[in-house]
């Protein structure tokens, strides 16, 4: 891991000077949000990758894409190549996706194989990352005859956990236990049988906006009356709760009076759902960029993948309950939910990209926030500032 460049050191100093002016800690009505450079500056983007995304549990992929032993999925986390693999013992593992010999990227596309084989000099590794063979390592036809230092050439494993269908990786190895990070979810998720869920489909969107704007927009419901006519009709502003937060978890929710075909009205529900959950929707963020919503009939994952200071990709993955996920009789109901998510997100993209453009303005630098709806945005900003201040880049 490289040291911070001089430009990154400078941007870190500039950033901390700006946010340690009290804007994130004062009462929201007197405070403000993240400064513009956090959404626009390429050096800040790289700093953020090397700190926030390297030192936290970051969503890496979907377990259903690694269903068979030997399934391999290359991903990028914190700007680094990582490969996920389903090993013979049934566990999904993560490794740095770089050969131990000369650093060639081992896996470049989804595939299934009994072992990793590097195309450069054909070193091979087991699905658990153990070096298997180094052909001609000691000269022509002198293969890997000395096994004593093989362990030096095993693939470098990363911390990796699978929670339901979702795989998280912590590159630095320093993040708190995953279970502790998601503990604030646990009470609100009681009563939902996640084992009843089946994956349905994903939606993908490319945005000309920083990933943080997508996440901030996802968690705050203040924009609903202005941007989402259908959603505002489903639950009006007076019935909406303000977002709350606990550690690295942000959450929001509502009770709805009547279900809609897009939410709870046309597809099977979680089995034995408690009464309090039957007209309820909740949504969550796990810092930094993984979110999901839960309703009586569905769970919808929302991920904002950083692509650059002013671009990101969103993935929305839909899961339904029991037969609702695959049975032909529910195909129209599923299509309606998909269309609804597509419509909602298109409505969001317009304002998210506008917020990005506004961050090139000298007339904006953090904003005047709503004391009712926006404390969660200050908390998100504090999590970001703390992660950057506490950076643990070796040698920095």
Residue ranges that bind ligand FES, judged by CB under 6 A: 99, 101-102, 104, 118, 120-121, 123
The answer to whether 254 touches 280, Cβ cutoff 8 Å, is yes
Q: Give the nearer residue to ligand FES in terms of CB position, either 123 or 222.
A: 123
Give the one entry of Fe ion, ligand FES, none that residue 242 binds, where binding means its C-beta sits below a cut-off of 5 to 8 angstroms depending on kind. Answer: none
Write down the least CB distance from residue 100 to ligand FES, Å: 7
- Taking each helix axis from N to C end, the angle separating 375-389 and 42-55, rounded to the nearest 10 degrees, works out to 90
> What does the DSSP assignment read for 107-175?
--S-EE-SSEE-TTT--EE-TTS-EEE-TTTTSTT--S--GGGGGGGS--EEEEEEETTEEEEESSS-S
- Residue where the block lists tokens 């009462």: 27
CB-count exposure of residue 13 (10 Å: 0-12, 13-18, 19+): exposed
CB of 223 to Fe ion, least distance (A): 6
CA distance 199 to 319: 4
Report the Cα 396 to chain-centroid distance in Å: 26
Could you say which of 348, 359, 379, 385 contacts Fe ion (CB under 5 A)? 348
- What DSSP letter does each residue of 185-231 carry, written as one string? HHHHHTT--GGGEEEEEEEEEEESS-HHHHHHHHH--TTHHHH-HHH
Q: Which stretch binds Fe ion (CB under 5 A): 27-35, 85-93, 234-242, 345-353?
A: 345-353
DSSP string, 287-316: TTTEEEEEETTEEEEEEEEEEETTEEEEEE
Residue 2 CB, shortest distance to Fe ion, in Å, is: 37
The CA distance from 42 to 38, in Å, is 9
Q: How far is the CB of 24 from Fe ion (least distance, A)?
A: 23
Candidates 37-45, 160-168, 340-348, 357-365: pick the segment binding Fe ion (CB under 5 A).
Answer: 340-348
For Fe ion, give the closer residue by CB, 293 or 348: 348
Residue 216 lies near Fe ion (rule: CB under 5 A): no
Pick what 102 binds: Fe ion, ligand FES, none; C-beta below 5 to 8 Å, kind-dependent: ligand FES
Residue 118 binding target from ligand FES, Fe ion, none, CB below 5 to 8 Å by type = ligand FES
- Choose the stretch contacting Fe ion; rule: CB under 5 A; options: 239-247, 284-292, 325-333, 343-351: 343-351
d(CA 144, CA 389): 45
Q: Which does 382 bind (CB under 5 to 8 A by kind): ligand FES, Fe ion, none?
A: none
Contacted entry of ligand FES, Fe ion, none for residue 104, CB cut-off 5 to 8 Å set by kind = ligand FES
Cα 204 from chain centroid?
A: 14
Of 72 and 181, CB closest to ligand FES: 72
As measured in angstroms, the least distance from the Cβ of 98 to ligand FES is: 9
Q: What's the min distance (Å) between Cβ of 116 and ligand FES? A: 10
Give the interface with Fe ion as residue ranges (CB under 5 A).
348
């Amino acid at each position: 891991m490289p040291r911070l460049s001089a430009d990154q050191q400078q941007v870190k100093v500039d950033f901390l000077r700006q946010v340690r002016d009290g804007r994130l800690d004062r009462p929201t009505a007197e405070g403000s949000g993240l400064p513009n450079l956090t959404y626009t500056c390429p050096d800040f983007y790289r700093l953020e990758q090397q700190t926030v995304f390297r030192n936290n549990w970051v969503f890496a992929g979907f377990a259903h894409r690694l269903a068979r032993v030997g399934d391999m999925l290359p991903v990028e986390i914190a700007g680094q190549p990582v490969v996920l693999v389903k090993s013979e013992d049934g566990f999904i593992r993560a490794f740095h996706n770089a050969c131990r010999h000369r650093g060639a990227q081992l896996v470049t596309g989804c595939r299934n194989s009994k072992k990793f084989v590097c195309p450069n000099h054909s070193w091979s590794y087991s699905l658990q990352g153990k070096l298997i063979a180094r052909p001609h390592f000691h000269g022509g036809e002198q293969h890997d005859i000395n096994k004593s230092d093989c362990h030096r050439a095993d693939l470098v494993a990363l911390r990796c956990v699978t929670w339901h269908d979702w795989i998280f990786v912590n590159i630095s190895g320093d993040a708190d236990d995953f279970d502790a990070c998601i503990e604030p979810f646990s009470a609100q998720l009681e009563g939902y049988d996640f084992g009843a869920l089946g994956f349905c489909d994903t939606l993908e969107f490319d945005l000309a906006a920083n990933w943080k704007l997508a996440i901030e927009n996802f968690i705050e419901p203040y924009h609903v009356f202005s941007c989402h006519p259908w959603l505002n009709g489903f639950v009006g502003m007076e019935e909406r709760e303000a977002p709350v937060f606990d550690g690295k978890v942000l959450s929001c929710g509502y009770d709805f009076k009547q279900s809609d075909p897009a939410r709870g009205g046309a597809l099977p529900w979680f089995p034995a759902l408690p009464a309090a959950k039957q007209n309820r929707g909740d949504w969550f963020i796990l810092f930094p960029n993984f979110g999901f919503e839960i309703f009586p009939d569905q769970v919808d994952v929302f991920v904002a993948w950083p692509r650059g200071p002013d671009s990101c990709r969103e993935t929305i993955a839909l899961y339904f309950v029991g037969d609702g996920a695959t049975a032909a009789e529910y195909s129209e109901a599923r299509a309606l939910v998909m269309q609804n998510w597509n419509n909602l997100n298109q409505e969001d993209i317009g304002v998210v990209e506008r917020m990005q453009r506004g961050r090139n303005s000298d007339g904006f630098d953090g904003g005047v926030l709503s004391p009712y709806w926006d404390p969660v945005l200050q908390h998100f900003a504090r999590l970001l500032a703390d992660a950057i201040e506490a950076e643990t880049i070796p040698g920095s």
